[in-house]
Chains A and B, each alone.
Chain A
Amino acid sequence: MSLQPPPAAPAVLTKSDLFIKEHSESWKRFSSMVDKARNSPKRLSPEELREFPKLYRRTCADLARARSLGLARDLTDYLNESVARAHTLLYAPPLLDRSALSRFFLDTLPDCAIRNFPAVLLSALLFFGSYAISLFLVSRNGDLAATFVSASTLDGFTDSYREAVDGRSLGGSSFMTAFYISNNVTIAFLSFASGILAGAGSLYFLLQNGLFLGTIEGYIHYAGYGANIDAFTMAHGPLELSGLVLAGAAGLCLGFAVIRGGRYRRADALLIARDRVFPLVAAFVLCIGAAAFIEGFVSPRAIPLWIKSGIAWLSSACLFAYFIAYPLLRRLVRRKRRG
């Protein structure tokens, strides 16, 4: 049965056109609301906010109907895009809010070391292992040092530790702290980030850092200036080394996810790893940042050893309490409660 549009009618309409005609009012209203809000719902008036979810639901329903009716593709694309834009507006959580922050510091962050215990353990073994081995070997026989570290670097370090540490001006301390932050945190970041290469990068950084530090320490001891270097590194040591281990652990987590996702596809494994890894990153940034301040302001000062040693013990105790004792206790309590 053919159809001739009446001469007065303006256009030839298909089912899609009729569908559009019926609903375009609300779609346009919806679209303009999304435009007005741009990225924050705060820009909408209270009435608009009340209406928004309704319009969203209606447009979603229209999209579903349009699809099942098999309407024109550019129509469903339009609706799809309209809904997609609004989805972000409606469902995106605020980037930062108080409860999320407190949850992070009271719950997620302390838990990160235990949660990723295998990675942390492996990282610690790699790092402290290489550190201990090179320290042992080089302090017995200083000539070995040259195989790990260049001669010029060794000389440079020997020079700095020839005399007992002397203390610096405030300006010097600020400058050096900034240097330590940018240098050490960068190394830690690299140790972490290189984990994406199937963990190989983190492995390399952990071993290399361990070897380097152990060699330097061993060499200085061998040369007889051991007391000086100990006096310098004592105060900030625990924090900095813990930070390095955590960074390596985070990198290894990434590596695990890339190599064998376990029960998950690689993409999903990476998604999960991302959430595991983030608190570790926050942890090592805080540790190394704190260590940098101590290294800049405290370590170079000629204050009595017991104070520096006290700081070392205190920082170790805090690390232990926050990252090990507190989360373990919470887990214990939770398990008891469940009976």
Chain B
Amino acid sequence: MGSRVAAWFVDALAQSLIVACAAVLLQAALGGSSVLDDLGKIDTGRGLAIAFYLILLFLLKWGYYALFEALMRGQSPGKRAMGIQVVRTNGEPLDFPSIAVRNLVRSVDDFPGLPLLGFLVAVTNQKAQRLGDLAASTIVVRVRRGELTPPETARLSERTAAIPVAGMAKTLTEAELGVLRKFLNERSLLPEALIGKLSARLRAQAQAKTGFEGRGLDDVAFLEAVYRAHAVAQPTQGPAEPPAARTPPEGGA
């Protein structure tokens, strides 16, 4: 939601700049005479200049967002800056009817008489839709930045390699192992206080599930030992699926 507001500011700024430039140009075209005394007598050049200015304002008001959403597939300059995008609720990119309806109803969202109506509607809505989004069945989502890479393998410390793990029931599911791996790999990114709490919690859960006691081990060592125990045999070309006997049934976790 915050990104949308920020994006809105950027777009509002851009629009103001455009209007300001146009106004300056208009002044130049009018050649200093500002008052339109008699509409009937206005000369062609000046008339056209004003006409263009009015049309520009009109197009800007209604078409700024629409144009960019069409060209950049759902992003206005402000949205692009904040890394968010408009898509339809079924996941597909925008099409003309959605763009049209979404931007026309925007006028109700920004209605001066009911301030922040669009904002209020969006805040109370599960999918953060303002009135325009509801009418057009669209939502605003984050665009993923950076590269997309598969998860890394676990980085475990040497010292835990030799911990005896007899008596451990290898009942953790792959999903649970994934959680362990993620924690072990990325715990340094967490605040200090949280690491301790999480590791204790994970240990308790792992202990309950596997029956492994691991006396004398600190939490991290415990978790690493459990993780190692669940690993599968791997020559450098591993089999796609390890033998069925080793795999816990799917329904776990």
Contacts and interface: CB of A to CB of B under 8 A. Distances in A.
Q: Do A and B come from one complex?
A: yes
Interface of A: 2-5, 9, 11-22, 24, 27, 31, 35, 39, 68-75, 78, 81-82, 84-85, 87-88, 91-93, 95-96, 166-179, 181-182, 185-186, 189-190, 192-194, 196-197, 201, 254, 267, 270-271, 273-275, 277-278, 281
A21 B179 CA distance: 19
Nearest to B135: A196
Nearest to B90: A271
A175 B42 contact: yes
A91 B92 contact: yes
Contact of A171 (B44, B108, B162): B44
A5 B150 contact: no
20 contacts: A2-B166, A2-B229, A3-B231, A4-B162, A5-B228, A5-B234, A16-B178, A18-B232, A31-B147, A31-B148, A74-B151, A88-B91, A95-B96, A179-B54, A181-B54, A182-B54, A186-B62, A193-B108, A270-B135, A273-B135
Contact of B51 (A12, A78, A177, A201): A177
Contact of B250 (A3, A70, A267, A273): A70
A2 B229 CA distance: 6
Nearest to A34: B148
A169 B73 CA distance: 43
A278 B96 CA distance: 8
A189 B62 contact: yes
A171 B47 contact: yes
B136 A167 contact: no
Contacts of A18: 232, 234, 238-240, 242
A271 B134 CA distance: 9
A277 B150 CA distance: 44
B238 A22 contact: yes
Contacts of A19: 240
A178 B238 contact: no
Nearest to B151: A74
A178 B54 contact: yes
Contact of B174 (A69, A185, A196, A267): A69
Contacts of B91: 84, 87-88
Interface in B78-129: 89, 91-93, 95-98, 100-101, 104-108
Label chain A's interface by main secondary structure: helix
A277 B253 CA distance: 48
B161 interface: yes
Given A15-B241, A73-B178, A182-B58, A172 B39 contact: yes
Binding site secondary structure of chain B: helix
Nearest to B93: A92
Given A2-B168, A18-B240, A92-B93, A167 B54 contact: no
Interface in B25-68: 39-48, 50-55, 57-58, 61-62
Contact of A270 (B39, B43, B137): B137
A166 B40 CA distance: 9
Interface of B: 39-48, 50-55, 57-58, 61-62, 70, 73, 89, 91-93, 95-98, 100-101, 104-108, 131, 134-137, 144, 147-151, 153-156, 161-162, 164-166, 168, 173-175, 177-179, 181-182, 227-234, 238-242, 247, 250, 252-253
Contacts of A95: 70, 95-96
Which 5 A-B pairs rank lowest in CB-CB distance, beginning with the nearest? Answer: A171-B47, A72-B178, A182-B58, A178-B51, A278-B97
Contacts of B149: 78
A161 to B, nearest CB: 14
Contacts of A91: 92
B98 to A, nearest CB: 7
Contact of A274 (B54, B97, B151, B164): B97
A14 B230 contact: yes
B105 A174 contact: no
B148 A267 contact: no
Given A75-B178, A271-B137, A193 B168 contact: no
A169 B44 CA distance: 7
Contacts of B45: 171
Contacts of A271: 89, 137
A74 B137 contact: no
A13 B231 contact: yes
Contacts of B47: 169-175
B80 to A, nearest CB: 12
Contacts of A75: 150-151, 178
Contacts of A179: 54
A193 B131 CA distance: 10
A34 to B, nearest CB: 8
B97 A172 contact: no
Contacts of A3: 228-229, 231-233
Given A13-B231, A95-B95, A175-B54, A196 B150 contact: no
B190 to A, nearest CB: 16
